[in-house]
Every structure is written in structure tokens, then in C-alpha cells.
Amino acid sequence: MNVNKHNTLDNLSDEKLVELYKKMLLIRKCEEHLSSATKEGAFPGAVHLYIGQEAIAVSMCDHLTEDDWISSTHRGHGHFIAKGGDVNTMMAEIYGKATGICNGKGGSMHVADFKKGIMGANGVVGGGMGLAIGAALAASMDKKNKVSVVFFGDGAANQGVLMEAMNISSLWKLPLIFVCENNQYSEFTHTSEVTSGKIVDRAKPFGIPTLEVDGNNFIEMWQASAQAVLRARNNQGPTFIEAHTYRQRGHVEFEYSFLSRTYRDQDEVNKWLANDKDPLLRFEQYLFDNSIIDNQKTEALNNEIDSVVKESVSFAVNSPLPDLSSAFNNMIA
Ligand SMILES: Cc1ncc(C[n+]2csc(CCOP(=O)(O)OP(=O)(O)O)c2C)c(N)n1
Ligand SMILES: [Mg+2]
């Protein structure tokens, strides 16, 4: 299957394009805050940041409604925000507060909101696949044309559960979309050291149509997402997208506090931070080139998003910790 490159984003209004840009900016700025906050020890636990991959979640989720489902990874804040998750309660969750979306008991790797179709971030690599296929099966039995999307990494593509998910979703024509975010690293190991062949080719023997895209190109990723979601809604079965991207930050923030060696060249990182590679800067340039934003508008949007992030941090910081008596609430024995 080829990405519909003749189609541009022309059919989206300027307002809509600015909304999409704001969503990417919101993810970026939340993550930047979390980066500095984790270094200050503002909350317990580690954070895995989505910086550099924002175009993938935002473009895919633009085609989904609250009734559709997504499952995510340990790098899940971007998916949560893109799918319409509330930033205040996400921030409070990461800060471990009672007002968090999971009452402060899940933390960064478990931000979830079932009311919004967000089955959650997931600390188990590949764990989201089982959840997404369950939701896809339920969607197909309900016959309400709902769609289920699993976001996973290149490392997760080496988990056996992917083969099981591809097999049964293809056989049963489930409305499932595989989105492999190939960011070139699994923890501290380059993908080429642990992955044979092309990841996207793994779907082919199962008869699943595939799309391989530049995941840092918002337009290309948006088009691929449109095609995959349309197929799923029309009961045509699963689609597999491999989105090439780059993990701009470490595997976890602050990793050099425990790593004794570097594992990638700064030159390589710098190349991906540049205007022609970074997904947010590229989309911003597209909006400039089409006279949708200018310097003044960009500054206003940045100020607006800064306030949203500031408000979420203040909500999190000023919220109480969960009461000790609630420790065993919502637990099943
Ligand atoms: C089943 C399982 N195995 C190993 C780990 C440890 N681990 C956490 S993240 C990670 C790398 C995942 O790489 P990838 O899927 O490419 O996602 P990325 O971090 O690049 O977003 C590993 C091995 C885990 N959490 N779960
Ligand atoms: Mg990876």
C-alpha cells in the first residue's frame, strides 16, 4: 500500500491546522517541564519522554474519536495528550497526587483514561498489543465501527506477542492499527544491533497492508493514519504503519546519573534536532510557508501553551498526596 502523497492537508482549515500544531507544542512543553522537574526530584519515579515523536501521536489521534481506543507504551504522555487526555490530571498523576487520573497510583508509565478511550501507558514492552487486540475484538463484536490503535516501539516489535496480534487480527479482520514508532533505539542499544530485516515487512506474510512513513513529517503521517483508520472503520481489517522517527532524549531522563558510558554520538543527536528533522519545527515551517502563522502568532501560541503547562504544574504541586487509607482501594485480590 502506498501513502496517498497527492493528497495534502489542503482540506483542513487554518484553524484546524493551528489546533494540531498547538497539540504538538503542548506535548513538547509538558515533556520539557518534566525533564527539568525530574532533575529537581519533584516527583517519584522515572520519565520516558516523547520529544521528537509528537507528529505520530497527534496525526493518528486526529482521526480518532473518544469512542475509539488506543494503547500506549512506557513513553506514553504524548499519546495521552493527543487522544484528548486532561493535562492537569496527567501532571498530577506523574507527581503521584490524589487528583491524578489514576489517583496517583500509576505514575508516568500508567497514565490512562478509559472514558476517553485511553487504555494507558504501559511499563511492559509489547503489553499494549494484547490490550489493543482485545479492544479491537470488542469493537468488531459491537459493530459500532470503533477502531483500536496500538502504538509501540521498534524494541517491542521483537516481542512474540506482535506475531500473535498480527495473526489473529488479520484472520478475524479486526479494526486494529499497528503503529510502530521506530525511533532507532531500545534503551541504550541501536535498533540495527537487535533487529533483523525491516520491521514493516513482518506484517506482509499475514496479509496485512503496510505503510512506511517518515514519522517526523506530519503530513505524511496524517495521510497514512487517514488511510489506516478508513480501512478499519470499513471493516477491511488491520493496517501496519512503520513510522521512522528519532528519540531526541535519553531512554529515561537523567540516565547519565547511572550510565557509565555514552552510547550515541552527539553529532547524530544534533542532526535530528535540526529544523529539517524535528517534527514540531517542520510542521511550524509548513504553517509559516502557507502563511497560516507568523512570528507574532507563534509567540502568542507559545505563551498560551506555557500557561496551560504552568497551570497543570500548579494543579499537581498543590494537590494532596493520596491518603494512606486508600492504599488498597481499587485492588483486586
Ligand atoms: C517485557 C519487558 N522487557 C524489557 C523491559 C525493559 N525495557 C523498558 S523500555 C525498553 C526498550 C523499549 O524500546 P522500544 O520498544 O523501541 O521503545 P522506546 O523506548 O524506544 O520508545 C526495555 C527493553 C520491559 N519494560 N518490559
Ligand atoms: Mg525504540
> What is the 173 CA–ligand 2 centroid distance (Å)?
28
Ligand nearest to the CA of 156: 1
Q: What is the mean pLDDT of the chain?
A: 96
Residue 167 has pLDDT above 80, yes or no: yes
Q: Is the CB of 153 under 6 A from ligand 1?
A: yes
Task: Give residue-wise pLDDT tens across range 206-258.
Answer: 999 999 999 999 999 999 999 999 999 999 999 999 999 999 999 999 998 89
- What does 119-138 look like in DSSP terms, one character per residue? ----SSTTHHHHHHHHHHHH
Residue 5 lies in a domain: no
Rounded CA separation 87/81 (Å): 7
The range of the structural domain enclosing residue 269 comes to 14-320
What CATH number does residue 128 fall under? 3.40.50.970
Q: Residue with the nearest Cα to atom 8 of ligand 1?
A: 125
Write down the pLDDT at residue 6: 46
Residue 5 has pLDDT above 70, yes or no: no
Residue 115 lies in a domain: yes
Write down the pLDDT at residue 9: 75
274-301: average pLDDT = 97
Write down the pLDDT at residue 267: 98
- Give the distance from CA 311 to its chain's centroid: 22
Q: Measured from the CA of 75, which atom of ligand 1 is nearest?
A: 21
- Select the more confidently predicted residue: 4 or 153: 153
Report how many domains make up the chain: 1
Query: Is 147 within 8 Å of 175 (Cβ atoms)?
Result: yes
Cα Rg of the chain (Å, integer) = 19
Q: What percent of the chain has pLDDT over 90?
A: 94
Residue 207 amino acid letter: G
Residue 77 has pLDDT above 70, yes or no: yes
Residue 204 lies in a domain: yes
Residue 36 lies in a domain: yes
Residue 70 has pLDDT above 80, yes or no: yes
> What is the 81 CA–ligand 2 centroid distance (Å)?
20
Residue 130 lies in a domain: yes
